[in-house]
Amino acid sequence: MKYKRILLKLSGEALMGEKQFGIDENRLLEYAKEIAAVVEKGVEVAIVIGGGNIYRGINAEKSGIDRVQGDHMGMLATMINSLALQATLEKIGVKTRLLSAIVMDQVAEPYIRRRAVRHLEKGRVVIFGAGTGNPYFTTDTAASLRAIEIEANVILKGTRVDGIYTADPEKDKTATKYNKVSFTEVYEKGLNVMDLTAFTLCKENKLPIIVFDMNKIGNLNKVVIGEEVGTLVEI
């Protein structure tokens, strides 16, 4: 097993599946089964999910909502997704813990680093909800921060494309894929991996990132055993 402890970053939009909004139960179950398969192999799994399928704080300003207020609404959207994933994982027999960056005792445990690490050591899937708990920070930044704090071996960014390309492959048919790329190259070429704050955190802490297609069944398992899937970003 190449990676013992991983931080899986999922976008909220990925949970929509074929829908225009909200959560596609079939997609959620697919993801849960993929996660369960690697947990069975002894991999320690932490997860951060975005909230874009429900609400995007960054778009709130257009509707006249204050950015800080909008970002708090976005954090609550991530909690809805986290609860949905937790319920689905537990339905198929995976033990989980949901830790929230915003105190909501009736719903989730408060985020405490040592507690999160202990849950992982006991084989529980740990889901980090509510981002960093601060406005102006994305869930990408939350994923980078939590991965560093729990000393994960890698961040796995599950997307709907199979890696990082020279351009957007959905718009440019001539775009070519990188199998491996350095942090410096990503900066120099302006490649879209994560927002700059999140990406810089990973670079400074020498934390590798793998961008891969989470929608292809079996890919998560291939990544954790070390097969060349997606694009690896490292120093």
- 157-188 pLDDT tens trace: 999 889 999 988 878 889 999 999 999 999 99
Total structural domains in the chain?
1
Structural domain boundaries enclosing 78: 5-234
DSSP run (H or E) holding 233: strand 231-234
What is the pLDDT, as a whole number, of residue 61? 67
Confidence of residue 18 (pLDDT cuts 50, 70, 90): confident
Confidence of residue 232 (pLDDT cuts 50, 70, 90): very high
- 93-118 pLDDT tens trace: 999 999 999 999 999 999 999 999 99
Per-residue b or e along 48-75, where b marks 16 or more CB atoms closer than 10 Å to that residue's CB: bbbbbbbbbbeebeeeeeeeeebbbbbb
- Supply angle C-alpha 197, 215, 209, rounded to 5: 30
How many residues appear in the chain?
A: 235
For position 125, which CATH number holds? 3.40.1160.10
Residue 72 has pLDDT above 90, yes or no: yes
- pTM value is 0.95
